[in-house]
Amino acid sequence: MNSYKTVRKEASEEYIVKKSRFIGYIKPVTSKQEALDFIAEISKKHWDATHNVYAYILRKEGIKKFSDDGEPQGTAGMPALDVLEKNGLTDVCVVVTRYFGGIMLGAGGLVRAYSHSASIAVNASGIVTRAMCARLKINCDYTFYGRLASLVPECGGIIEDTLYEDNVTVIFRLPLTDCDSFAAKLTEASNGRYTAEKTDEFYADTD
């Protein structure tokens, strides 16, 4: 898998329906332990809530799990998980806290409430694409630096650091799938004077 979608940051959002208060919490996670720690953190924070429903999906471990936490089967955790799946998300955990307001919502109402809570949490966090990237380094003279500084973003790269010495060293990341086309454009732009040195490979945000 060269790329995947997850949420950008930890976030929360809430709304009220028929006097029941729903709070959707979401966080990017990369392991089962991180997911369980997040669930435990929210459950401890809202120890007095009627329910703390959760769902999470993990890429490397191939895990999809949810809990209704006492709500009728299929009305809470599964709808939250469904929101994650429909958005194509992985490495993510969502917890929906409910404070019962005294009015029954019915099975359909619960499904809609938990789906909506998970959706507004996703929206509050934002969705990001993470791709396998290469970290590259190019040392060039000041004459070519201006062209290089524009070529990197043109090819989908993100400049991480620039060192100004006798020459300029530009350190940037680029999705692996774009490395060959970048190399060709760099050769053309510099008349073959410069090549990029790869120093690392890792997953990183590309948008």
Q: How far apart are the first and last CA of the chain?
A: 17
Co-location of 38 and 117 in the same domain:
yes
Same domain assignment for residues 108 and 140: no
Domain boundary residue, one of 76, 106, 125: 125
Q: For residue 165, give the CATH number of its domain.
A: 3.30.70.240
Domain final position from 79, 100, 125: 125
Task: Indicate if the pLDDT at residue 2 is higher than 90.
Answer: no
- Containing structural domain, residue 65: 3-125
Domain match, 117 and 55 both? yes
> Does 197 lie in the same domain as 114?
no
3-state secondary structure of 71: coil
Structure confidence at residue 205 (pLDDT)? 80
- Kindly compute the dihedral angle of the four CA atoms of residues 96, 100, 103, 104, in this order, to the nearest 10 degrees: 50
Q: What is the DSSP letter of 43?
A: H
Q: Given this model, what pLDDT does residue 61 score?
A: 87
Do 110 and 145 sit in the same domain of this protein?
no
Alpha helices in 11-101 (DSSP H): 32-45, 77-86
Kindly indicate the confidence band of residue 133, based on its pLDDT and cuts at 50, 70 and 90. Answer: very high
Whole-model pTM: value is 0.80
Query: pLDDT grade, residue 198 (50/70/90)?
Result: very high
Q: What is the pLDDT of residues 45-102, one digit of tens each?
A: 999 999 999 999 999 889 999 999 999 999 999 999 999 999 999 999 999 999 999 8
Count up the domains in the chain and report the number.
2
Look at residues 204, 147, 203 and name the one whose alpha carbon lies nearest to residue 170. 147
Checking if the pLDDT of 1 tops 80, the result is no
Partners of 137 in the β-ladder = 171, 197
* 18, 116: one domain: yes
Residue 10 and residue 106 share a domain = yes
- What share of the chain in percent tops pLDDT 70? 99
**Portion of the chain with pLDDT greater than 90, in percent:** 90
Same domain, 27 and 116: yes
| pLDDT band with cut points at 50, 70 and 90 for residue 204 | confident
What integer best gives the mean pLDDT of the chain?
A: 94
Q: How confident is the model at residue 121 (pLDDT cuts 50, 70, 90)?
A: very high
pLDDT at residue 138, rounded to an integer: 96
Of 61, 95, 125, the position where a domain reaches its end is 125
- Same structural domain, 60 and 86: yes
Identify the CATH number of the domain in which residue 50 sits.
3.30.230.30
**The two three-digit tokens of residue 193, written as one number:** 């004077």
Cα 90 from Cα 6, distance rounded (Å): 5
Residue 195 identity (one-letter amino acid)? T
pLDDT at 207 over 90: no
pLDDT in tens, 135-166: 999 999 999 999 999 999 999 899 999 999 99
Q: Are residues 138 and 201 in the same domain?
A: yes
- Whether 206 has a pLDDT exceeding 80, the answer reads no
